[in-house]
Structure 1
Amino acid sequence: MANKQNKIVLVTGGSRGLGKDSALQLARRGFDVIITYQSKKEAAEEVVKEIETIGQKAFALPLDIASTAGFDTFTADVKNILDTQFASAKLDALVNNAGIGINATIENTTEEILDAMTNIHFKGPFFLTQKLLPLLNDGSSIVNTSSGLARFSFEGYAAYGAMKAAVDSLSRYQALELGSRKIRVNSVAPGAIETDFGGGAVRDIAEYNQGISSQTALGRVGLPDDIGTVVAFLCSDDSKWINAQRIEAAGGFRI
């Protein structure tokens, strides 16, 4: 009897931060993992090695989530990996994680900034998911990365927070339209996490870290594995009846 095929997940922006931890947590749950990176090829290859150490297959592909022009080529690359490395299997989960943070007040937000936020956080995931639908198994799970900033407000994050609110809405519409294929779609909304996001302010500026901690019911800021474990859960069959939900993982910030 042939060995049962492991589930396969694609995580965008998997070379660092929350994407990296999500990829590792998924590998620990038995997923084989394809990650994307924009420029940090060496970092992505290190994540691949770490996943292989866990005992799962891993591959890294370049992707600029802000440029839909490259999506056809990227989709062909994913299909090639699935055909050659996984005997024409399909993806069982997609994690739309890739993104950047930017801090600019409404007064100082340029059209270029708003376009970048739109392309990276909304247009990119919208059309990448569209392109990958033929490569997703029925019954798959899609997890879109939102943000706590879609619920609570910090000065300077109007463009970012608004795009993440759009991601929450998009997730519900995707869940509705893909339900006939039994594909579940949820969004995960991290609070402040100790990563290099936004220049690493939460991680590196003690006063900022303490200020957020003081407004959080659990008394601290988040760590990457506070999010990665949630993403892995939502990609797994353990969450098979969770659909069209926005799950905020922020430790109870400003409740």
Structure 2
Amino acid sequence: MKVAIVTGASSGIGQSAAIEIARRGVGVILTYGNNPQGGKDTVAVIEKEGGTAVALPLDVGETGTFEGFRDTVAGVLRDTWQRDSFDYLVNNAGFAQTSLIEDTTEEMFDRLMRVLLKGPYFLTQKLLPLITDGGAIVNTSSNSASTATGLEPGYSVYAGMKGGLDVLTRYMAKEFSGRGIRVNAVSPGATRTRLGDDAFTRFPEVVPALAAKTAFGRVGEPDDIGKMIATLVSDESRWVTAQNIEVSGGYNL
């Protein structure tokens, strides 16, 4: 059985990606941050559908914990799947915080940088020896980093870090190609997740305006993105690498 690691899978896009990947017959190691119950819920859904999953705690903003996490992963692989490697890595964990440039603090900037860019960089570095040749990596980016029109004030740091992740995706694809490891990114548009302190629930009035900017007339749902991630790590996408695929339903089209 092939095995995937999906970070930030206690809710939203990561949860959907973990479930969709498991539905394709892949074992899943999923991580959670401050929502352990969400991690358990994701495992429960996967197991109910006949899959195998293990939930582990991980703060992607704390690089000092990555070596210990790698050792834990190695133990889980051995005990659960009798393997010493895994096949797919989905760097999804993250959070959103907005602030106008004139109001942004260094603390906020550094926190977003640690989670959205530094974390995926060094987590991938630590886990790379465990990834099988011919495996796949998907990084969750954002269309806020690539859109040329309709920029929303307040996203300079968040989008800036996601833009860095887009560049990192291409360099990973180049450097890992010798081992046949494919690396791609997905860039969701407005998606109904818990990002921004569950902003969609707290501010439901923003949904109609976002839907009006989208060609298909609605905001995205986690499953819209999760299915694309599952497709990108699968063999169906074996000839796709170094790509950033916007999954936004035609936002600003």
| Normalised TM-score (structure 1) | 0.95
Counterpart AA for 1:45: K
| 1:117 aligned counterpart, secondary structure | helix
1:38 aligned partner: 33
1:85-234, aligned counterparts within 5 Å? 85-152=80-147, 153-203=151-201, 205-234=203-232
Question: Distance in 2 between the 1:159 and 1:188 partners?
Answer: 19
Question: Distance in 1 between the 2:176 and 2:82 partners?
Answer: 25
Counterpart AA for 1:230: M
Aligned length: 250
- The runs of at least 4 consecutive aligned structure 1 residues that moved more than 2 Å come to 199-207
Q: Does residue 84 of structure 1 match 2:79?
A: yes
Counterpart AA for 2:77: L
Whether the aligned pair in 2 keeps the contact of 1:203 and 1:209 (CA below 8 Å) is no
Structure 2, unpaired ranges of 5+: none
Whether the aligned pair in 2 keeps the contact of 1:8 and 1:92 (CA below 8 Å) is yes
Counterpart AA for 2:90: V
| 1:107 aligned counterpart, secondary structure | helix
| 1:139 aligned counterpart, secondary structure | strand
Give how far 1:55 is off: 1.0
Q: Percent same amino acid among aligned pairs? A: 45
Give how far 1:83 is off: 1.4
Question: Distance in 1 between the 2:198 and 2:35 partners?
Answer: 17
Give how far 1:231 is off: 0.4
Question: Distance in 2 between the 1:203 and 1:147 partners?
Answer: 20
Give how far 1:154 is off: 1.1
Instruction: Name the stretch that deviates more: 184-193 or 49-58.
Output: 49-58
Deviations 1:5-28 (A, max 9, x none): x21000001111111111111111
Whether the aligned pair in 2 keeps the contact of 1:212 and 1:220 (CA below 8 Å) is yes
Question: Distance in 1 between the 2:108 and 2:32 partners?
Answer: 21
Instruction: Name the stretch that deviates more: 165-174 or 48-57.
Output: 48-57
Give how far 1:89 is off: 3.9
Distance 1:71 1:50, change over 3 A: same
Structure 1, unpaired ranges of 5+: 1-5
Question: Distance in 2 between the 1:236 and 1:254 partners?
Answer: 29
Whether the aligned pair in 2 keeps the contact of 1:94 and 1:141 (CA below 8 Å) is yes
Q: Does residue 249 of structure 1 match 2:244?
A: no
Whether the aligned pair in 2 keeps the contact of 1:193 and 1:203 (CA below 8 Å) is no
Give how far 1:204 is off: 5.0
Question: Distance in 2 between the 1:85 and 1:219 partners?
Answer: 43
Deviations 1:159-214 (A, max 9, x none): 00000000010000000000000000000000001122113333553431111111
Q: Does residue 72 of structure 1 match 2:67?
A: yes
